[in-house]
């Protein structure tokens, strides 16, 4: 029930923010994208195309499963939380997109998509899954190394967010919402709902 409550709460909050963004038609969004589009080059475009795949669910799902399998169900609550975070990070942006129905940017897309824009799925998934993996794998490490692993997860999500804007498929507000939604979902599930995900003893 806690997980369901978190899911619904985040979906509602993000959808309300999305409606606000659509109503305001933020000029800053378009201004940033026009500036980015005007300064594209072949090398950076190639980097962005590679970076954006780090937020693709077909890439992230096997990574999450591999982490669970490699840990050999060592901490069941952590592993279940990781699976829940991964599944929710795919479902949440999909649901919010249907509700908000914000069209894709009108800037030239370097990565062809036909779905809706707010929030960014790639960014939400990258933020949620990489952060959860970092938390799970860094348990037992020293404080400095643990912080380094978590910072690395945050940086990967930020790079994915940048790539989506650079490729012209998302507004800055789309990826900002994706980052906040992904990190919020991961932290709330892992730190608040995880105890309820523990399997009862036989």
Low-confidence ranges of the chain (pLDDT < 70): 72-73, 108-114, 194-202
Q: Which CATH class is domain 2-197?
A: mainly alpha
Q: How many Å separate Cα 147 from the centre of its chain?
A: 20
pTM above 0.85, yes or no: yes
pLDDT of residue 73: 64
So what's the pLDDT on residue 78?
82
pLDDT at 201: 43
pLDDT in tens, 6-18: 899 999 999 999 8
Name 110's Cβ contacts closer than 8 Å, sequence gap at least 6: 40, 45, 48, 49, 166, 167, 168, 169
Half-sphere exposure of 86 (CA within 13 A, CB side): 21
CA atoms in the 13 A half-sphere facing the CB of 187: 10
Q: Cβ distance 136 to 149 under 8 Å?
A: no
């Amino acid at each position: 029930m806690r997980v369901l409550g978190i899911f619904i709460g985040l979906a509602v909050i993000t959808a309300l923010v999305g409606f606000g963004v659509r109503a305001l038609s933020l000029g800053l969004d378009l201004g940033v994208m026009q500036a980015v589009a005007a300064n594209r080059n072949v090398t950076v475009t190639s980097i962005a195309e590679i970076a954006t795949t780090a937020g693709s669910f077909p890439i992230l799902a096997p990574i999450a499963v591999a982490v669970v399998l490699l840990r050999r169900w060592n901490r069941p609550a952590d592993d279940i939380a990781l699976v829940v975070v991964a599944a929710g990070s795919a479902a949440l942006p999909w649901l919010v997109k249907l509700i908000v129905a914000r069209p894709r940017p009108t800037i030239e897309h370097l990565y062809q998509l036909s779905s809706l824009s707010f929030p960014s799925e790639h960014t939400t998934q990258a933020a949620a899954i990489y952060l959860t993996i970092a938390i799970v794998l860094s348990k037992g490490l020293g404080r400095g190394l643990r912080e380094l692993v978590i910072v690395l997860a945050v940086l990967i999500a930020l790079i994915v967010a940048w790539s989506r804007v650079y490729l012209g498929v998302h507004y800055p507000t789309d990826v900002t919402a994706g980052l906040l939604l992904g990190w919020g979902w991961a932290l709330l599930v892992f730190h608040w709902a995880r105890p309820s995900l523990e399997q009862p003893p036989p």
